[in-house]
Amino acid sequence: MGGIVCIVKVNSRCLRPDGQEAVSTGAVNVLSMNSEAVIEMTVKVLEDMKGIDLTVIDIVGKSSIADAMIVVTGTSQRHVRSMAETVRLTAKEAGHPPLGVEGGDSSDWVLVDLGDVIVHVMTEEKREFYSLEKLWSVGPTEADKEAGDSDPSTAVTTH
């Protein structure tokens, strides 16, 4: 992963799970925000930037790569790039620098990897084509719902 996950911060020092101080070489990412805080920060940024059809998908129990995915539509490639860049800068300023950003200046889809939260900023055409919500939101069938069987890990929240 190439970074230290900060379990406990004491006076700006990062402590590992074994209690020893983690030494930073300057090229190491220190992630100190929990998933809920990252989601809240990202949703606010994307709403402020007029992102369309913002959706938070809870993928806990479905994948080990993250706890949540955020999917949002931009009105143009420029809007997509601008929203992704603002998410990146806001996370960095909050002390939670992204692990990576995929997608270029003329991309219809930019992915910002914030560790436990992955942000997908897409044009409408790409979002319809890839249907990430459908892919990751497999939930109970109608028969399960009628029988009262529902799985809370299939939660999808639209903002």
* Domains defined along the chain, listed by start: 1-32 (no CATH), 34-158 (3.30.460.10)
CA distances from 78 to 46, 51, 71, 85, 98 (A): 14, 12, 17, 10, 20
Q: Categorize the per-residue pLDDT at 8 as very low, low, confident or very high, splitting at 50, 70 and 90.
A: very low
Q: Categorize the per-residue pLDDT at 138 as very low, low, confident or very high, splitting at 50, 70 and 90.
A: low
Token representation of residue 18: 């074994």
User: What's the pLDDT score for residue 57?
Assistant: 93
User: What's the pLDDT score for residue 142?
Assistant: 54
Nearest to 156 by CA among 33, 53, 41: 53
User: What's the pLDDT score for residue 6?
Assistant: 42
The string of pLDDT tens digits covering residues 34-55 is 999 999 999 999 999 999 999 9
Q: DSSP labels for 82-146?
A: HHHHHHHHHHHHTT---SEEE--TT-SEEEEE-SSEEEEEEEHHHHHHH-HHHHH-----HHHHH
User: What's the pLDDT score for residue 156?
Assistant: 59
Q: Please calculate the CA angle 63-67-73 and round it to the nearest 5 degrees.
A: 100
Token representation of residue 55: 């959706």
The string of pLDDT tens digits covering residues 98-126 is 999 999 778 899 999 999 999 999 999 99
User: What's the pLDDT score for residue 4?
Assistant: 39
